[in-house]
């Protein structure tokens, strides 16, 4: 376990050192959850538009509501899982760890909470990307959402607030939560209600 933590630490130092002050503002924008509101609104619009051709008006709003509630539920689950892990494992964020904070660039003034494992930013962005890919019937253009989620996840390492393992595990949990929800619960719920 010590070897894995040492590798994680060294990888953080390396990846974080690739940063440059001229790109700091860009990564701060990428990590800001409010930056992505236009993307979320666009995705909801595209989802509504794709459902519009499949359902009559009286069912459309019911179906759309189920989709929206599902997305909110998934983000809630992802976020709460992250908090559960953070407070159970209690691994300090790199920016709060005296042993490493002088070896990395800490770009963000507000480092965030005390604990880092696993990244809620990574988990939530991959939950959103994965569920929209599934909701949109795996159309290839929606796979680009995974690149967006990867940028959001990487921003956390760039800023010095998460270790690489935090974003890797967070990303995998986000994908898994969405996929399990979609295959086990959503498909049954959709068939039952519609």
- CATH T-level topology, domain 2-193: Vanadium-containing Chloroperoxidase; domain 1 (1.20.144)
Reported pTM: 0.91
What would the mean pLDDT of 156-163 be, rounded to a whole number? 96
Dist CA 155 CA 161 (whole Å): 9
Rg of the chain in Å (alpha carbons): 18
In degrees to the nearest 10, what's the CA dihedral of 86, 88, 89, 92? 50
Note if the bond before 113 is cis, omega within 30 degrees.
no
Dist CA 72 CA 78 (whole Å): 10
Q: Give pLDDT tens digits for 104-148.
A: 998 888 888 999 999 999 999 999 999 999 999 878 888 999 999
Q: Give pLDDT tens digits for 84-107.
A: 999 999 999 999 999 998 899 988
pLDDT given for residue 186 in this prediction: 86
Tell me what percent of the chain is helix, strand and coil, each rounded to the nearest 5.
Answer: 75, 0, 25
Dist CA 137 CA 132 (whole Å): 9
Dist CA 22 CA 92 (whole Å): 28
Per the listing, tokens 């509630």 go with 69
Domain ranges of the chain: 2-193
């Amino acid at each position: 376990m010590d070897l894995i933590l040492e590798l994680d630490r060294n990888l953080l130092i390396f990846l974080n050192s690739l940063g440059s002050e001229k790109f700091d503002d860009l990564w701060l924008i990428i990590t800001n959850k409010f930056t992505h509101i236009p993307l979320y609104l666009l995705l909801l619009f595209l989802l509504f538009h794709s459902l519009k051709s499949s359902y009559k008006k009286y069912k459309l709003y019911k179906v759309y509501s189920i989709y929206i509630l599902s997305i909110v539920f998934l983000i809630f689950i992802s976020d709460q899982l992250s908090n559960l892990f953070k407070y159970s494992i209690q691994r300090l964020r790199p920016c709060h760890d005296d042993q490493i904070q002088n070896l990395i660039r800490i770009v963000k003034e507000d480092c965030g909470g005390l604990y880092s494992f696993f990244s809620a930013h990574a988990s939530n962005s991959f939950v959103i990307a994965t569920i929209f890919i599934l909701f949109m019937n795996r159309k290839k253009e929606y796979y680009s959402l995974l690149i967006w989620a990867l940028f959001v996840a990487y921003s956390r390492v760039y800023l010095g607030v998460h270790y690489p393992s935090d974003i890797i595990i967070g990303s995998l949990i986000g994908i898994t939560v969405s996929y399990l929800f979609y295959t086990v619960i959503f498909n049954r719920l959709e068939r039952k209600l519609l």
